[in-house]
Amino acid sequence: MTKIGYFLSCEQFGPAELIDQAKRAEAAGFDALWISDHFHPWNDEQGQSPFVWGVIGALSQVTRLPVTTAVTCPTIRIHPAIIAHAAATAAVQLDGRFILGVGSGEALNEHVLGDRWPSVGVRQQMLEEAIELIRLLHKGDEISHHGKYYEVQEARIYTCPEKPVPIYVSGFGPQGAQLAGRIGDGYCLAMPEIELVQAFRDAGGGNKPVQAGTKVSWDRDPDTALKVAHRLWANEGLPGQTAQILPRPKDFAELMTLVPPDTVAESVTCGPDADKHAAQLRQYLDAGIDEVYVQQIGPDMDGFFSAWEREVLPQLD
């Protein structure tokens, strides 16, 4: 069953704003929530970065919607045993409506303790071991783990949900999609790429859920909407492995000047046209993605939620 969810951006909004958006999303008819997990925003203009686990605790008190982290890196900045602890508590708080979305991370967030930034292959090996360890801990037994990357001694998580926390794996290339298919309970990606969805399914993903996130900039004035989207999120137009290797928000800000507004407009619907908003999400559904999560970039939350409730979501039923 297709789900249209709302994407809570911890890079752009503070805790109170995120909680307000979650309540509005539920009232407007969105089916679920995605929430990003960052130590830094991508650039200083975005300007926020609350600790996701604190926000999730607050979300559990104000919404009945399912919540997925999109995505948590459980390998470098935070040890997977601690992520296992946090995810188990989140699942209890949300009465089982929690999915742990994980990925191999970005230097932007993971370099902050001075750790070396590994190659893609090593990061994926670390991720696989981290997921194995999280699943062991979620059984609720005392475990000791002596792995290639992680050591755990006589650890037990006492506050566990009734059912294991599903772990969805992010991947933005064929290698990542195949890893997700092999070890994930689901798959997370950012673009409507049917080839990656198929790679996930062929590698063992089968009929498991596929989630994706996207952004729009709703405003009554399309030019204003595009200016805001370009100022805040032009980093998404940077090529190659830029997003994985740059260490500081100011590095992204400097390179963002090379991204023209037209590039942003190609992937972000800007303005009030409901048909264009719906068409953007249909690209994802047509690529075989089961759940699409949309973030409103612009400041007019009243206009966005009203328009999506009345004019956009009904087109996507």
> What is the per-residue pLDDT across 2-15, written as a single tens digit (0 to 9) for each?
999 999 999 999 99
> What is the per-residue pLDDT across 84-114, written as a single tens digit (0 to 9) for each?
999 999 999 999 999 999 999 999 999 999 9
For residues 220-248, b (16+ Cβ closer than 10 Å) or e, as one string?
eebebbbbbbbebbbbbbbeeeebbebbe
pTM of the model: 0.98
> Which of 11, 106, 129, 236 does the annotation list as catalytic?
106
Task: Give me 87's structure tokens.
Answer: 């995810």
For residues 305-314, b (16+ Cβ closer than 10 Å) or e, as one string?
bebbbeebbe
Q: Compute the distance between CA of residue 237 and CA of residue 185 in angstroms, rounded to an integer.
A: 29
**Could you confirm whether 277 is annotated as catalytic?**
no
Are 83 and 74 a contacting pair, CB within 8 Å?
Answer: yes
The model's confidence at residue 64, banded by pLDDT at 50, 70 and 90, is very high
> Which residue is it, tokens 């559990």?
60
What is the total count of domains within the chain? 1
**Could you confirm whether 254 is annotated as catalytic?**
no
Task: Provide the pLDDT for residue 61.
Answer: 98
Task: Provide the pLDDT for residue 317.
Answer: 85
Please name the residue ranges forming H helices in 113-171.
120-137
> What is the per-residue pLDDT across 221-258, written as a single tens digit (0 to 9) for each?
999 999 999 999 999 999 988 999 999 999 999 999 99
H or E stretch including 179? helix 174-183
> Which of 11, 38, 236, 277 does the annotation list as catalytic?
38
Q: What is the CATH number of the domain that holds 170?
A: 3.20.20.30
Domain that holds residue 197: 3-315
